[in-house]
Amino acid sequence: MAGDSTQDKTHKPTPKKLADAKKNGEVPRSDELSKTISLLAGFTLLWIGFAGILRGIIYMLTEALSYHPGKELTPETLLGLVGEFLYAAFSPLFPIAIALAVIMYLSETLMGGQIFRLKNAAPKLSNLDIVKGFGEMVSASNAMTLLKSILKLCLVLSVLSVAFGDTVDHFVGLMGLPYHIALGELGRTVIVLLLAYSASLIVITAIDVGFQQKQFMKQMMMTTQDIREEFKQMEGDPMIKGRIRETANRNAQSSSLEAVPAADAVLVNPEHYAVAIRYDKSKDPVPRVLSIGGDHLAFRIRQIATAHEIPVLPVPPLARAIYFNCQPGGFIPKDLFEPVATVLSYLNHLDDPLSFKIDESFLGDLNVPRELSDPE
């Protein structure tokens, strides 16, 4: 529709629209989610492994400050000592770093999954559009970024004010303790403060996740014309059309066969076509077609009719006329009232409807219009 605009996007995105967007790398993302998870995980891992890290640092300091009179210091031995000190201090950090790298990678996939497309990494000339760039500067997304920065600053100041108010005396008391004890207490206190700050970011993260999800769905909204175009594309796909046709045929055949047991009679060609009809005076003004089928479906209709002791009459002209001119659930057309009434009246006058006898004379009396029984 020519008048459609972004304001006219009042329809929720279809599953196909969302799937296509994901293929193109367009998914909701929250930087705050991955950052908060990474900070919490990193500081938690530091807390867990702090004892090993502290032992390494104390060993390095002890060895570095110790005097070894029998040990000659040469460039080679000095280099060896430096390597030994660094390994003792930082080897406990290796498993923490690996675990943190895995957590950071997984945190990126929590919203929208892991998607990497080379075309998204390619430079875009549209990014050089000054007017578009100015519009993005004053967008809701940038306003949200500014709000998050302000909230973070407030959180940092709040955490620091509370923390230092309670820990200044504790820090002063550490000055009279042995260095290895003071170092351990200092490290634990700092990690606890960082954990508290990271935990406080959960509130900002929750707000940002909801905002990003809402913004994404807003961008994905569709106009009426978008939905029509998508439907046309799907209709034009041979696989989609075949699948729709197959499903419709299967559903129609299933419901058609389920109606056969309620029929008064089944008229057959006798092999290629079969139609089940019923006339209920209390419900229908004229006879109704319950089921229609050709070849295999006609065979199934005959099978069901026989199993339920429903008369299966070989009346080829009338069976073909109904098959070519009627739909399941529809009424018998006006031009076929008389021949159908003749068949049903004949069955009603029999003591046993299954004892019917159809001969050439009976078929001739039906007077089925030839243009209906042989449409070709």
Residue 362 maps to which CATH number?
3.40.1690.10
Is 72 a residue whose pLDDT tops 70? Answer: no
Report d(CA 265, CA 313) in Å as an integer.
Answer: 7
Going by DSSP bridges, is the β-strand pair 265-268/312-314 parallel, antiparallel, or unpaired? parallel
Q: Are residues 176 and 318 in the same domain?
A: no
**What is the structure's pLDDT at 276?**
93
For the segment 1-24, the average pLDDT, to the nearest whole number, is 70
Instruction: State the number of CA atoms in the 13 A half-sphere of 346 facing the CB.
Output: 20
pTM for the full predicted model: 0.40
Look at residue 137 and tell me if it is in a domain.
yes
Which domain range does residue 64 map to? 10-115+126-224
Task: Give residue 265's pLDDT band: very low, low, confident or very high (50, 70, 90).
Answer: very high
Amino acid found at 153: L
Look at residue 4 and tell me if it is in a domain.
no
How distant, in Å, are the alpha carbons of 61, 72, 73, 92, 180 from that of 67? 12, 11, 11, 26, 18
- Nearest alpha-carbon partner for 161 in 138, 193, 129: 193
Report d(CA 85, CA 284) in Å as an integer.
Answer: 98
Are 52 and 92 within 8 A, CB to CB? Answer: yes
Q: Which residue has the higher pLDDT, 105 or 280?
A: 280
Task: Give residue 43's pLDDT band: very low, low, confident or very high (50, 70, 90).
Answer: confident
Copy the structure tokens of residue 117: 């497309």
Q: Are residues 211 and 357 in the same domain?
A: no
- Nearest alpha-carbon partner for 53 in 187, 143, 155: 187
Q: Are residues 216 and 275 in the same domain?
A: no
Q: Are residues 211 and 72 in the same domain?
A: yes
Q: Are residues 94 and 46 in the same domain?
A: yes
**What is the structure's pLDDT at 264?**
92
Copy the structure tokens of residue 113: 């999954």
User: In what side-by-side order are the strands of the sheet with 265-268?
Assistant: 288-294, 273-278, 265-268, 312-314
Are 312 and 306 within 8 A, CB to CB? Answer: yes
Q: Are residues 59 and 193 in the same domain?
A: yes
Look at residue 231 and tell me if it is in a domain.
no
Q: Are residues 200 and 297 in the same domain?
A: no
Task: Give the end-to-end CA distance of the chain in Å, rounded to a whole number.
Answer: 42
Are 332 and 285 within 8 A, CB to CB? Answer: no
Q: Are residues 155 and 39 in the same domain?
A: yes
Task: Give residue 73's pLDDT band: very low, low, confident or very high (50, 70, 90).
Answer: low
Copy the structure tokens of residue 181: 């004890």
pLDDT tens-digit map of 185-216: 777 777 777 777 777 778 778 888 888 888 88
Look at residue 19 and tell me if it is in a domain.
yes
Q: Are residues 193 and 47 in the same domain?
A: yes
Q: Are residues 265 and 341 in the same domain?
A: yes
Q: Are residues 178 and 286 in the same domain?
A: no
Number of domains in the chain: 2
For the segment 26-39, the average pLDDT, to the nearest whole number, is 80
Residue 293, by phi and psi: left (phi above 0), alpha (psi -120 to 50) or beta? beta
**What is the structure's pLDDT at 3?**
44
**Beta carbons within 8 Å of 303's beta carbon, 6+ residues apart:** none
**What is the structure's pLDDT at 6?**
46
